[in-house]
Chains A and B, each alone.
Chain A
């Protein structure tokens, strides 16, 4: 299994809603990431988890709350979002071998629309 699976594929939510994005991988990767990608722009890093611990938070607003319940799962909890948060949210994973950078595998993304 060489896939990163994200659910849901599409999500429309109101500004007062609470929703969660889910990401799953079974490749034994110990690093997992959330990226945000706006139309015609590159992916922007939001969070990095290494061995289930948050290692990087790229100054993301608190209305985005990540969670890593175990080494295979990564969630992104959403609350009180703004319309400008509408974007493609990509999850990725990589082996996280020390002293060696390795390929990051991306999921297909969740296309989020905030209304």
Chain B
């Protein structure tokens, strides 16, 4: 099965700085890579996703890059705000249709005001 590794496990940044979280995956057949944000006691919520036919995707302060050759993808958050503080999970899916998501171990991001 797919193995997704995520780094760092914790990340603290000053408000306004950028944050970068990196993930690697093992199965070259993986073709869908979502990122979820989970605040304490709440549900995981999708913040951005990318498919394997695209190298980069941006949505306001959030961007994701994908390197299929190296099998890694990254989340970039610019101009961080305190409300960005949460746990972020990357994931990879190797099936079309019903998503069999394999999650990374998570990154706890703290934005210091």
Where the two chains meet, the residues of A that have a C-beta atom closer than 8 Å to any C-beta of B are: 31, 33, 40-45, 48-50, 55-56, 90, 94, 96-109
Q: B98 at the A/B interface (Cβ < 8 Å)?
A: yes
- Complex Cα–Cα for A27 and B50 (A): 22
Q: Are B46 and A104 in contact (CB under 8 A)?
A: yes
Q: How far is the CB of A27 from chain B (nearest CB, A)?
A: 14
A-B contact pairs, 10 of them (CB 8 A): A31-B98, A41-B105, A41-B106, A45-B100, A49-B98, A101-B32, A101-B93, A101-B96, A104-B99, A106-B36
Q: Are A101 and B43 in contact (CB under 8 A)?
A: no
In terms of DSSP, what is the predominant structure of the interface of chain A?
loop
Instruction: Classify chain B's interface size.
Output: 20 to 34
Residues of B within 8 A of A45 (CB): 100-102
Q: A106-B43, A106-B44, A108-B42 are in contact. Are A98 and B96 (CB under 8 A)?
A: yes
Q: Are B34 and A104 in contact (CB under 8 A)?
A: yes
Q: Are B97 and A42 in contact (CB under 8 A)?
A: no
- Complex Cα–Cα for A102 and B103 (A): 15
- Complex Cα–Cα for A33 and B97 (A): 13
Closest A-chain residue to B89, C-beta based? A42
Q: Are B96 and A43 in contact (CB under 8 A)?
A: no
Residues of B within 8 A of A90 (CB): 43-44
Q: Are A42 and B99 in contact (CB under 8 A)?
A: no
Residues of A within 8 A of B31 (CB): 101
Where the two chains meet, the residues of B that have a C-beta atom closer than 8 Å to any C-beta of A are: 31-32, 34, 36, 42-46, 49, 51, 89, 93, 95-106
Q: Are B43 and A103 in contact (CB under 8 A)?
A: no
- Complex Cα–Cα for A97 and B51 (A): 14
Q: Are B104 and A42 in contact (CB under 8 A)?
A: yes
Interface centre among A49, A98, A104, A109 (most CB of B within 10 A): A104
Interface centre among B42, B44, B106 (most CB of A within 10 A): B44
- Complex Cα–Cα for A28 and B70 (A): 37
Residues of A within 8 A of B97 (CB): 31, 50, 96-101
Residues of A within 8 A of B49 (CB): 103
Partner among B93, B96, B101, B102 whose Cβ is within 8 Å of the Cβ of A99: B96
